[in-house]
Amino acid sequence: MSKAKKFLKKFKDIKTLPHVVTSLSRLIADDNSTMKDFEEVIKMDPILVVRLLRLVNSPFYGLAQRVDSIGRAVAYLGMKNLHNLAVTHALKNIFEDQRKSPAFSRKKLWLHCAAVSICAKMIAERIFGTNGDDAYLCGILHDFGLIIESQVAPDKFLTACEAYKPGVSLIDLEQEYLGTDHCDIGYLMAVDWDMPATIQEAIRDHHRESGDYAPDSLTGIIQIAEYITGQLGYTALADFNPELPSHLISHMQENMDEYQVLIEDLPEEMSNAQDLYGG
């Protein structure tokens, strides 16, 4: 068994993903699923119901008429948005701080993942004209391997974080102190949770520095989103802002006007999405 698999197994022994999320993941993968099936699963989690209704009535969607029923909320949001909400709802509790350290904060990591998810969705939709649901989900999940490391081997993980400084590879530090890294662990987690293959691969490759992946791939989108949000201060670790591969730099330079508008709009988009990833 690889070191990454051992980390994931130990984490699953400590924390289990809520049944509602795994059930929704199975429904997403089943072409015969109906909105009624989703409604029945959502009803199992009263807190999630509250978040669902709060979200659909929030500025994020800007509806003129209030939605008060689960069925109407599910029908309006759609299956993927509902699944993303459930995953976000489940993960936020796991991101709660347990140990205080100047080198690492789970709350700061959550804000980073939230920012990357919103930015990635904007990039997918505004720059590439594609549906941004998977980009959002990938953004929320991309650094979850760090949470698993902090839960399973907290002392070694914090040592790796404390050793980080600009110009040093976080991946190399993880491999040195933990024998694995958050990309490999996150990839195996996404496989275990039946996430789409493109999301699995983007989580595995989001620190990859070379390759033939396109800017409009999930890997490219997440890397660009991490770079943009890092420039705005939404970093997982202090002073951590990964460099962009040359082909993504070229892409951004060729589309600088569009990206400039996106960057200017990002704070407002995050504010509007507060009900999705906030308190």
Of the pLDDT bands very low, low, confident and very high (cuts 50, 70, 90), residue 163 is very high
Extract the tokens encoding 70: 């689960």
Q: What is the pLDDT of residue 161?
A: 92
189-223 residue pLDDT tens: 988 887 889 999 999 999 988 777 999 999 999 99
Q: What is the pLDDT of residue 34?
A: 84
pLDDT at 18: 66
Least-confidence region, from 28-37, 152-161, 218-227, 245-254: 28-37
* Amino acid 15: pLDDT: 67
pLDDT digits (tens, 9 = 90+) for 94-137: 777 666 677 888 888 988 998 999 999 999 999 999 999 899 98
DSSP string for 178-235:
HSS-HHHHHHHHHHHTT--HHHHHHHHHTT--SSS--TTSHHHHHHHHHHHHHHTT--
**Residue 279 pLDDT more than 50?**
no
- Asked whether the beta carbons of 111 and 118 are under 8 A apart, the reply is no
The pLDDT of residue 98 is: 64
Task: Name the pTM for this structure.
Answer: 0.84
Structural tokens at position 191: 């496989």
Average confidence (pLDDT) over 69-87: 80
Fold (CATH) for 3-16+99-277 = Hypothetical protein af1432 (1.10.3210)
Query: Across all residues in the chain, what is the average pLDDT?
Result: 86
Cα-based torsion angle of the residue sequence 254, 231, 135, 236 in order, rounded to the nearest 10 degrees: 150
pLDDT tens readout for residues 28-57: 778 888 888 888 888 877 777 877 888 788
State the Cα–Cα distance between residues 84 and 90, nearest whole angstrom. Answer: 10
Q: What is the largest CA-CA distance in the chain?
A: 55
